[in-house]
Chain A
Amino acid sequence: MTFVDNYPKATRVVKASFIVAFIALAIGGLFGTIQALHRTNIFRGFVSSVEYYTVLTGHGVLLALVFTTFFIVGLYQWGVSRSLDREPENMRFTWSWFWIMTIGTVLTTIAIVGGLVPGSSISAAVLYTFYPPLQGHPLFYIGAALLIIGSWMAGADWFRSYLVWRKDHPDDKIPLLTYMTLFTMLLWYICTIGVALEVVVLLIPWSLGFVTNIDPLLPRTLFWFFGHAVVYFWLLPAYFVWYTILPKLSGGRLFSDSLARVAFLLFLLLSTPIGYHHQYADPGISIGFKFWALVGTLIILLPSLMTAFTVISSMEHGARQRGGKGYFAWMGALPWNDPAFVGVALAGIMFAAGGFSGMINASLNINMLVHNTAWVPGHFHLTVGTATALTFMAITYWILPQLTGRTLKYKKLALAQPYTWFLGMTLMSNALHRAGLAGIPRRTAEPEYAGFAFEAPFGTIAEMKWQIAIGGVILFVSLVMFLAVIVRSWVGGERVPNPVDDYIPPPLSGSEHSPAILDNMKLWVGLAIILVLFAYTFPLAEMVMDGLFSPGAPPSPV
């Protein structure tokens, strides 16, 4: 008996969500490889340098918004059904959020891919950060809005399940899997207010031609109101896996339930008010608010460092139960032959490296040295591109058998896949970071200039280019390996009663040691809103007071 036998209705929606996620992953990954070859000038035959920006937009939106969001709703539906021991309350409502998200995704994808069709009037080369003056087709914005509305409904579905569960369990602590789901969604509700206002009030009327000019700063600020917290919307589901499943895969148990809860509520409190750290180079926002964002960003390192402690100690517990010894040698006792464990563990190691470059990004003064350079994609390919994406891929090796009732096929290929990803990302990301230190810009189809040569502080520019291109190709190979394992296992795995050991042991220090205040959602949401009001009220009021669309600038391309 596994998940599909206990919750067949929930299983169908989880599988449907994973299918959309993996299609987006395949297309977005292909686009990424094209970019890696194009910008390094290794091969520029796939697209023109104008179409490069359409490919870049597709890569960013399909991976950072579509793959992540669909995988997250599937993963969280799995977690909520399992930990509350419930099917969704009303399948019509559950399927309606799935289809709203899917229709939104199709509309947005049509708008982006239209840019690659000769003679098409539809295009949306607005990059992943879709703020003005870059303007896309209205379908892009309408689709993005539907994707977000669908995700809100998914959250409402889980809150509903929780409330029904609560009636039968008035005195229980919220089960940890559901706690993490609900706190992520609370964060998501708060931060998406910014992007919803940006898209619905400003960008849709502007893209439809109802207004001709737009104030570049206001929608940009609303985007970053959402745009930093969204990284925690990607990351917290990875933490959900690291805290609740990784200890089991390591052969141990979660070290502390309370620490996991504290980390999630700190993210709820701190992730939205710090969006200005993406606008350190923007005029129009006073240095005081940027400094506040700097302080908040350094404080938000705390829950990630707490996570490092809790997750590493849980793994160590597993290693020692498996006979591991010593200060460092215990790591050798971990199950490095289990693809799910390997992928999640390597994702965590990459995240530690991404933590360093994130600290540099967060630091107001040093940020200026790497702002808008290749360092930035170097950073987020370690975080969302590995900590999140590799965790999602690896945990699919463990969850998919629970959804299909079939065993995993191509196990050796599955085991090689995370190592391949790690190798490809090591090559690409270290070179992107160093290219950024050399001043090479990000988001540029042809980052080369006549009569000027970049000077590399480490290595050579030519070697960096090759590492980026080869790394990008290896990542694509790894992606194909992942898809081959998944498709083959989905349709060809052997049907057995227990296709995977899905038992999750309780934490070493469980919720009986966890203070009740950690479960007080009203308190933490109230505090989170107060912190957002402190950060955003005055700057936004100042931008709005001279009119929503002024001072106005024309769209680009005109």
Chain B
Amino acid sequence: MATPQESNAPTDAPAAEAVMSEERSDIVREISLEEFTPSGTLAVTGAYFLLLLVLYALMYFVEFAGNGPSIIN
């Protein structure tokens, strides 16, 4: 059967920190919410936003700046 945490609310675990009951061999240390600072997420999403800016600029040069004025002419 599903564990109580899953069946009643996967999110509603009163002792959330104690629920990693099923040990996983690939986990070297457990990190709680307080210990976790998602600095890598900031780096990745920041890089993505930069990429979006570059691609937007590219679209501008391809589609507008690369062609002469049309409506104004």
Contacts and interface: CB of A to CB of B under 8 A. Distances in A.
A508 B36 contact: yes
A95 to B, nearest CB: 23
Nearest to B19: A506
B30 A321 contact: yes
B31 A317 contact: yes
Given A85-B7, A173-B9, A457 B66 contact: yes
A179 to B, nearest CB: 9
Tier of interface size on chain B: 35 or more
Interface stretch (A43-51, A127-135, A291-299, A352-360): A352-360
Contact of B13 (A309, A335, A360, A506): A506
Interface stretch (A386-394, A473-481, A497-505): A497-505
B63 A437 contact: yes
Contacts of B31: 252, 317, 320-321
A316 B38 CA distance: 7
Contact of A508 (B16, B24, B51): B16
Interface string A365-380: 0100100000000000
Contact of A320 (B1, B8, B12, B36): B36
B50 interface: no
A416 interface: no
A357 to B, nearest CB: 9
A317 B56 CA distance: 31
Residue among A84, A437, A510 facing the most chain B CB atoms (10 A cut-off): A510
Contacts of B13: 506, 510
A512 B10 contact: no
Contacts of A360: 59
Contacts of B19: 505-506
Contacts of A509: 33
Contacts of A173: 9, 11-12
Residue among B2, B43, B55 facing the most chain A CB atoms (10 A cut-off): B2
A322 B26 contact: yes
A511 B55 contact: no
Contact of B11 (A309, A331, A506): A506
Contacts of B44: 312, 328, 331
Contact of B45 (A175, A308, A322): A308
A463 interface: no
A6 B7 CA distance: 12
Given A251-B26, A437-B63, A504 B40 contact: no
Contact of B41 (A316, A324, A501): A316
A301 B57 CA distance: 19
A413 interface: no
A337 B58 CA distance: 36
Contacts of B30: 321
A366 B10 CA distance: 43
A330 B40 contact: yes
Interface in A309-367: 309, 312-313, 316-317, 319-324, 326-328, 330-331, 335, 352, 355-356, 359-360, 366
A437 B40 contact: no
Interface in A259-307: none
Interface of B: 1-3, 5-14, 16, 19-20, 22, 24, 26-33, 36, 38-41, 43-45, 48, 51-52, 55-56, 59, 62-63, 66
13 contacts: A83-B10, A175-B7, A308-B48, A320-B31, A331-B44, A355-B52, A356-B51, A437-B63, A504-B6, A506-B11, A508-B36, A510-B10, A514-B11
Going nearest first, the 8 A-B pairs with the smallest beta carbon separation are A511-B11, A85-B7, A510-B11, A257-B11, A327-B43, A313-B38, A506-B13, A313-B41
Given A327-B40, A506-B5, 5 more contacts: A169-B8, A175-B9, A177-B10, A252-B31, A507-B10
